[in-house]
């Protein structure tokens, strides 16, 4: 039973064929009960790593990247199809979406030829995991207040400080690290991006236990980490301009609406005859959530179009982030109520998927920039336009 009426979101025959290809690959190479790579079972990470390599071999991992960087030069819309299908099926690429969606594009825009040669091929082959060293204990939403410091040391730098909420730090080989290199003036000035290997003994990772699982949140301690000028991305003291690019790529890069819609679409079939017995109010909220999925998809497609023209800004992404993170949480609440009414026989996987979705959604309005900060960004943009 599919409730797919109203706005036509189809992108043409090629996109439809790509969706079928991706779904066939997921069905053939990802276990049916796979709920993501970041569980306590190492086998789930192995599944994701193997699936990434398979996508790379077929030219499907970095479709929209230029051919010289390991991509196929495909359209951003084909990459959007990949993004939607992966997120709808519990992201079997694991943490690779970070490298594909924003680390790689940022390196293409700001990296030196040597940095591009070093880092882009492993990402395109699905062989490397990155983490993001941005937030700190007293610098989350107000990221520019960070205290991690990089100090000149001969022909390089020494970095000391602490990062927090660093997803995938326990499994990453590289960190996209933001540190302060100059003090004085505006706090957004004097920040620099460093590309840091996570196996350096000066780096310590301490996992933070949460209901999200063992790999989503970590503390990272940098104790006199030695890096060279070759590890600096872009211009020293001008890292904030790169951060703006990163956040635009990152916040658009996760198609949360695709998982919400797939689970909502599954619900009537999972409940069978019990569906008609649900309270009309609950079925009405279910229908409203499907409508909100389409709204979030439309917002995403508008941003994809802007991004393809090189015009997307953090404020452009704010409305999408607000809509899609609220969708995550609101749809999770509806789905939990529906799943509670599902028969026990034959619906265990659906109920587990809904539970996983609910747990992940609890952090949705905080991660990658809190919803409060997105509202501030959006309101400032609207006021500036009046």
Residues acting as catalytic residues: 250
The C-alpha torsion from 101 through 106 and 112 to 113, rounded to 10°, is 30
DSSP per residue over 192-212, as a string?
EEEEEETT-TTEEEEE---TT
Question: What is d(CA 99, CA 204) in angstroms, rounded to the nearest whole number?
Answer: 22
Taking CB atoms within 8 Å and a gap of at least 24, the contacts of 292-295 are: 292/323, 292/326, 292/327, 292/330, 292/331, 293/257, 293/260, 293/261, 293/264, 293/327, 293/331, 294/6, 294/7, 294/9, 295/323
Q: Evaluate whether 132 touches 98 at the Cβ level (below 8 Å).
A: yes
Beta bridge partners of 156: 153, 228
Beta bridge partners of 160: 149
Question: Residue 180: which of 199, 160, 198 has the closest Cα?
Answer: 160
327 alpha-carbon distance from chain centroid: 16
Provide the pairing of β-strand 174-180 with 130-133: parallel
Listed in sequence order, the DSSP H helices in the chain are 13-29, 42-57, 76-88, 96-98, 104-110, 113-124, 239-252, 256-271, 280-308, 314-339, 348-361, 371-385
DSSP state of 46: H
């Amino acid at each position: 039973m599919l409730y797919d009426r109203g706005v036509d979101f189809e992108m043409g025959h090629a996109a439809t064929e790509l969706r079928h290809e991706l779904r066939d690959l997921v069905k053939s190479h990802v276990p049916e009960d796979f709920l993501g790579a970041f569980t306590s079972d190492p086998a789930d990470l192995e599944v994701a790593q193997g699936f990434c390599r398979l996508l790379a071999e077929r030219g499907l991992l970095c479709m929209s990247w230029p051919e010289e960087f390991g991509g196929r030069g495909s359209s951003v819309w084909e990459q959007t199809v990949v993004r939607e299908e992966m997120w709808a099926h519990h992201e079997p690429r694991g943490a690779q979406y970070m490298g594909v969606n924003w680390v790689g594009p940022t390196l293409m825009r700001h990296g030196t030829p040597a940095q591009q040669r070093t880092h882009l091929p492993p990402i395109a082959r699905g062989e490397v995991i990155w983490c993001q060293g941005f937030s700190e204990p007293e610098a989350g939403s107000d990221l520019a207040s960070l205290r991690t410091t990089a100090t000149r040391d001969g022909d390089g730098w020494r970095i000391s400080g602490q990062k927090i909420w660093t997803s995938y730090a326990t499994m990453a080989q590289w960190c996209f690290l933001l540190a302060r290199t100059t003090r004085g003036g505006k706090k957004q000035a004097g920040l620099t991006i460093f590309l840091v290997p996570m196996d350096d003994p000066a780096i310590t990772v301490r996992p933070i236990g949460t209901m999200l699982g063992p790999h989503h949140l970590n503390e990272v301690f940098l104790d006199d980490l030695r890096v060279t000028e070759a590890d600096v991305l872009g211009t020293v003291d001008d890292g904030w301009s790169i951060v703006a690019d990163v956040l635009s790529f990152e916040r658009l890069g996760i198609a949360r609406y695709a998982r919400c819609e797939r689970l909502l679409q599954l619900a009537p079939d999972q409940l069978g005859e019990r569906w008609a017995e649900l309270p009309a109010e609950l079925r009405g909220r279910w229908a409203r959530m499907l409508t909100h999925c389409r709204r979030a998809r439309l917002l995403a497609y508008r941003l994809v179009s802007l991004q393809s023209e090189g015009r997307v800004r953090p404020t452009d992404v704010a409305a999408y982030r607000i809509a899609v993170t609220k969708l995550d949480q609101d749809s999770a609440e509806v789905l939990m109520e529906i799943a509670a009414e599902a028969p026990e026989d034959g619906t265990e996987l659906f109920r587990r998927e809904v539970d996983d979705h609910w747990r992940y959604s609890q952090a949705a309005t905080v991660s990658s920039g809190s919803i409060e900060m997105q509202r501030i960004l959006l309101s400032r943009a609207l006021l500036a336009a009046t």
